[in-house]
Structure 1
Amino acid sequence: MANKDAALKALIEPVVTAMGFELWGVDYLSQGKHSRLVIYIESADGVTVDDCAAVSRQVSGVLDVEDPISGEYRLEVSSPGMDRPLFTLEQFASFKGSHVKVKLSTPFEGRRKFQGQLAGVEGDEILLHLDGQEYCFPIESIEQARVVPQFDN
């Protein structure tokens, strides 16, 4: 998790938790005037559009007061969904056996994107089975990771 994301998570998490939700993750995408702050919330009862709107209003108030992001940005609040992003070692461990897409911050063996079966977590590394091989990626080298939903015919 980037430093900016970690700082935003520390600011946002108490608000989300106080509203009865779990903060699944925070993703800040800096793109000039088109920057986005995406907040993923989770609940055992599921997440509705109204839940997202309520969290958005509360978090927006905190962000307006604290002003942690310079410039314009769009705030989005969402459930993680079926193709949920993975941010922490615990999240990776809980999705062991699932298919995932991983994008690395720097190339490994000439590529940055990998897709395969999540074999687990060892220490601070993610284990990924792909094309008959097992790859180990330190979590700090992962720029982005998502579960790839699998559907039976």
Structure 2
Amino acid sequence: MRRKEEIEAYAENLFLPITQKHGFELVDVEYVKEAGSWYLRVYIDKEGGIAVDDCEVVSREADPILDTDDCIEESYILEVSSPGLGRPLKKDKDFARSIGEEVEVRLFRAVEGCKEYTGLLNAYDKITVTLMLEDEKTLVLERSNIALIRLALDF
């Protein structure tokens, strides 16, 4: 079996031109095993949001290429979808787009006695993420300690 990272890189290279051609953003690609089945998940987005028809267009265009290349040895399920409202921030472009936005952060190890924070995303670099908390306190977190960071959902 090819390594997970190799398959995700292959899929990203395959899907990037397809998504760009249709004016979509390729947000993320995951190759994961859940409940005994492998899933190749491709997350796309566009201004105003993604519709089911958009996902179908991308899936139909990639399917024959995936079948012909036969790059993935195991059987798998292809899912093309929207990243959703609570999508995690993973790449630098996600962080850049979210500067000034309220984010929720879950940590692997507690910082100042807490493993969860909500605050405004002030800055980021390769090593750290800086939040402005409600009490106007600045909190600098190591990216390696962040289990999940996503836009806060306010309903």
**Smaller-chain TM-score range?**
0.7 to 0.9
Counterparts of 2:118 and 2:11, CA distance in 1: 30
State the alpha-carbon separation in 2 of the partners of residues 66 and 101 from structure 1: 40
Matched, 1:15 2:18: yes
- Residue in 2 that maps onto 1:149: 153
Deviation at 1:102, TM superposition (A): 4.4
Length, aligned pairs only: 147
* Equivalent residue number for residue 92 of structure 2: 89
> For residues 101 and 68 of structure 1, what CA distance do their matches in structure 2 show?
37
CA RMSD across the alignment: 3.1
Residue type matched to 1:68 in 2? C
- Report the TM-score, using the length of structure 1 for normalisation: 0.73
The reply on whether 1:134 has 2:144 as its aligned counterpart is no
Cα gap change, 1:127 to 1:35, in 2 (>3 Å): farther
Counterpart amino acid of 1:15? I
CA distance in 1 between counterparts of 2:106 and 2:110 reads 13
Query: Could you state the TM-score of these two structures normalised by the residue count of structure 2?
Result: 0.72
For the residues of structure 2 that align with 1:147 and 1:45, how far apart are their CA atoms? 17
CA distance in 1, matches of 2:121, 2:78: 34
| Contact 2:129–2:142 (CA under 8 A) maintained in structure 1 | yes
Whether the 8 Å CA contact 1:95–1:118 is kept in 2: the answer is no
- Alpha carbons 1:118, 1:126 under 8 Å: kept: no
Whether the 8 Å contact between 1:117 and 1:129 is mirrored in structure 2 is yes
Per-residue CA distance 1:91-116 (angstroms, 9 max, x = gap): 11221243434466xx43499x6442
Identical aligned residues as a percent: 33
Q: CA deviation at 1:13?
A: 0.8
Q: Which runs of 5+ in 2 are unaligned?
A: none
Distance 1:75 1:102, change over 3 A: farther
Q: Are 2:38 and 1:38 aligned?
A: no
Give the deviation of 1:50 after TM superposition.
0.9
Amino acid at match of 1:22: E
Larger radius of gyration: 2
Match of 1:67 in 2: 70
User: Which residues of structure 1 form unaligned runs of 5+?
Assistant: none
Does structure 1 retain, via aligned residues, the 8 Å contact 2:122–2:132? no
